[in-house]
Amino acid sequence: MHSRSIATSGLMSALALGLTGALCISTTVAADAPSTAFTAQDLNTLKRLSDPQVSPDGLRVAYALRSTDLAANRGRSDLWLLDLSQPGLAPRQLTTDAANDSTPRWSADGRSLFFLSSRSGSSQVWRLALDGGESQQVTRWPVDVNALAVSPDGTRIAVSMDVYPDCADLACTAARDASKSKATGRSYDQLFVRHWDRWEDGTLAQLYSATLKADGTVGEPVSLMHGLKANVPSRPSGGDEEFSFSRDGKRLVYSARKADRGESWSTNFDLYEVAADGSGGAKNLTATNLAWDTQPVFLADGSMAYLAMKRPGFEADRFAVMLRDANGSTREISAGWDRSPHQLAASADRRTLLATADDHGQVGLFAIDPRNATVTALHNTGQITGFAPARNGIVIALASLAAPSDLYLLPTRSGTPQQLTAVNREVLDARSPLDAAQFSFEGAGGDSVSGYVVKPHGYQPGKQYPVAFVIHGGPQSAFGNAWSWRWNPRTFAGAGYAVVFIDFHGTPGYGQAFTDSISKDWGGKPLQDLQRGLAAAVAKFDFLDGNRACALGASYGGFMVNWIAGNWPDRFRCLVNHDGIFDTRSMYYTTEELWFTEWENGGTYFDTPATHEQFNPSAHVLKWRAPMLVIHGSQDFRVPETQGLATFTALQRRGIESRLLVFPDENHWVLKPANSLQWHESVLGWLDSHLK
């Protein structure tokens, strides 16, 4: 793809975007560079870098790197270390065990790394001394450890484990699991009966702490829940960003939502403060806010910053950055910044806050001064997927449309980020370059709306190419200048398709009012944006063959494909619907996170049926004409499998060309490598049969 130096490797494209700007995204190619298409096999075998953690002295960074074993149909991760004090020094692999090693967390003195590993047969805490020697198992508990943090003073660790909340100790949970009846019936008295891709089994993710002894062993774990029934961190994807030690290591604050009768329709997460040794009780610090409070971060002066939403029940509300001083007085310090942070942390001196946020099709890094509430953009091109302050800057994990995450050192003051790793250099250097552009047009209501166009592999001036019109899910999410391990524009481009995608009304990063505008209007302004966006792209980019186009989407994007089938029926030669909603009535009564569908439709189905029915795809089946590929995962409890089956039934009974692809072992996403390859073969084959 590029000439053979790290400075011009394929992964440098993410940095190049920062220099050339967001409107034109391309990579330079050496004269003798090959022109091999990027494939689904590439997508599934590229290495995945994550979780950068800088040492206490700011001179080293540890990170996790996942590789994929296609033959075994799974991924596995190892830990790596990079010395920031020696520029150009290659990273060092720390672990090579066949099991998964993840979650590197530094000891307070910086001499060793604690991490989670499954090498003992269950997920436990391990420790690796960096001055030599083998990894040592720290915990030998009868329950898996799911999350890990080390106190700043080095005296304790905090861990999360799935336990039965009425059990007095871990042995009780293990014994109960071992003595389960052969009967398979499940009985429930309240929702959630299932969540994301698992049926609830009575366990909760509970937070514990344990003392770290001088010999590297730990004491007995003590619960920090004090009778609170909640998942800490939250399921299914919360991590240790949801709990934090105070700087002296004596207190710990965590975010939790009560697992009570109202959990399935509540977004009320509160921050609870507890003694790190488990003594005393739990103090609710945010009881007056009935919306989401999370990600506590302690600053040098003893104050605590955190993220807070204001509207109960709305999971896509704007996260405000709040500051709570030592006296308990709380104020917002991001009121003038119309963005919603993803990740919140403190600078190396803990006097400034750092946050990532969507911003005009990018995911940037911003500095927030707690003293005067000013926000400064530090890097705002590409997709920052993680960061950690270092001695001479900030280590960022940076991805883009062109490449997955690599590490860069962002100078504390202005300057060019320095690339530190190139974990996929060999593969990406051998592939044809990405060539993409961001454009804008007048969307619904006269608002300015943005989109992206990606040129196909083998592009030649003067030729026209079929279009894959990809619609993002969420709906309050974005594709943008970012890397995806599932719906990846570069894979479609590698198959010979020009790719168009639109940041329609509802997409974050363009102001909270723009994000809010999709609620109770799923088939209104977003459809207008898609219609106007495709027309604008075809008019602006002459290589797009607007007469040969297929629309594809998952989740909300799948809903929109069904909505397009009945409300824009003659525009596309084919459609692809993955995990899409077919009937809003049955969706309400079978999905698990009720707060989502209740907010988006203004209430419960029985209280506001007209709003739920306003954009119900099933009401427009008589207008369906376009061939459709329907894909669904049987373990998808967010949009249950019956929605896909109903879509396929409607197509078959209408006599419309259609195909159903079901993954019995996948959830709302397709995660297993072999299934991903089958997914791409099916989707690209469907497009080929209708567009080529």
Render pLDDT for 8-42 as a digit per residue (tens, 0 to 9).
233 333 333 332 233 455 544 444 555 799 999 99
The answer to whether 409 touches 415, Cβ cutoff 8 Å, is no
According to the model, what pLDDT value does residue 636 have?
98
According to the model, what pLDDT value does residue 552 have?
98
What residue ranges in 353-392 does DSSP mark as E strands?
A: 353-359, 362-369, 374-379, 383-390
Phi, psi at 648, each rounded to 5°: -65, -40
Rounded Cα distance between 401 and 226, Å, is: 46
Sign of the torsion angle spanned by Cα atoms 331, 336, 337, 339: positive
- The structural domains of the chain, with segments of one domain joined by +, span 434-691
The pLDDT tens digits of the residues spanning 46-62 come to 999 999 999 999 999 99
Q: Which residues contact 673 (CB under 8 A, 6 or more apart)?
A: 44, 45, 68, 69, 70, 73, 74, 75
Alpha helix (H) ranges present in 361-488?
425-429
584: how many CB neighbours lie within 10 A of its CB?
Answer: 24
According to the model, what pLDDT value does residue 415 have?
72
According to the model, what pLDDT value does residue 32 have?
53
What residue ranges in 540-613 does DSSP mark as E strands?
A: 544-554, 574-578
The residue whose two tokens read 């989740």 is 555
According to the model, what pLDDT value does residue 35 have?
78
Three-class DSSP category at 284: strand
In 3D space, the residue among 67, 63, 66, 97 whose CA is nearest the CA of residue 80 turns out to be: 63
* Sheet with 92-93, side-by-side order of all strands: 48-54, 60-69, 74-83, 92-93
Architecture of domain 434-691: 3-Layer(aba) Sandwich (3.40)
In 3D space, the residue among 335, 379, 341 whose CA is nearest the CA of residue 358 turns out to be: 341
Q: Which H or E run includes 651?
A: helix 641-654
According to the model, what pLDDT value does residue 97 have?
82
Inter-CA distances, 117 with 132, 223, 255, 290, Å: 19, 22, 25, 37
Three-class DSSP category at 21: coil
Categorise residue 130: left if φ over 0, alpha if ψ from -120 to 50, beta otherwise: alpha
According to the model, what pLDDT value does residue 24 have?
57
In 3D space, the residue among 506, 504, 521, 600 whose CA is nearest the CA of residue 311 turns out to be: 600
Angle of CA points 632, 636, 640, to nearest 5°: 80
The pLDDT tens digits of the residues spanning 226-275 come to 999 999 999 999 999 999 999 999 999 999 999 999 999 999 999 999 99
In 3D space, the residue among 50, 59, 270, 279 whose CA is nearest the CA of residue 156 turns out to be: 279
Categorise residue 193: left if φ over 0, alpha if ψ from -120 to 50, beta otherwise: alpha
Partners of 322 in the beta sheet? 306, 332
Regarding pTM above 0.75, the answer is: yes
Rounded Cα distance between 379 and 359, Å, is: 11
According to the model, what pLDDT value does residue 416 have?
84
Rounded Cα distance between 333 and 588, Å, is: 37
Q: Which H or E run includes 586?
A: helix 584-590
In 3D space, the residue among 657, 686, 688 whose CA is nearest the CA of residue 466 turns out to be: 688
Inter-CA distances, 224 with 20, 141, 230, 233, 390, Å: 49, 17, 11, 12, 31
The residue whose two tokens read 């770290």 is 212
Q: What residues of the chain score a pLDDT lower than 50? A: 1-23, 27-31
Q: Which long-range contacts (CB under 8 A, 24 or more apart) does 341-346 make?
A: 341/307, 341/366, 343/241, 343/295, 343/386, 343/387, 344/241, 344/295, 344/297, 344/305, 344/306, 344/307, 345/297, 345/387, 345/388, 345/389, 346/297, 346/298, 346/299, 346/305, 346/389
Expressed in angstroms, the distance from the first to the final Cα of the chain is 26
Q: Dihedral (C-alpha) 213, 219, 225, 229: value to the nearest 10 degrees?
A: 140
Q: How buried is 355 (Cβ within 10 angstroms: 0-12 exposed, 13-18 middle, 19+ buried)? A: buried
ω before 236 within 30° of 0 (cis)? Answer: yes
The answer to whether 375 touches 459, Cβ cutoff 8 Å, is no
According to the model, what pLDDT value does residue 617 have?
98
Q: Which residues of 605-633 are buried (b: 16+ CB within 10 A; e: fewer)?
A: beeeeebbebbbbbebbeebebbbbbbbb
536 residue type, one letter? A
According to the model, what pLDDT value does residue 385 have?
98
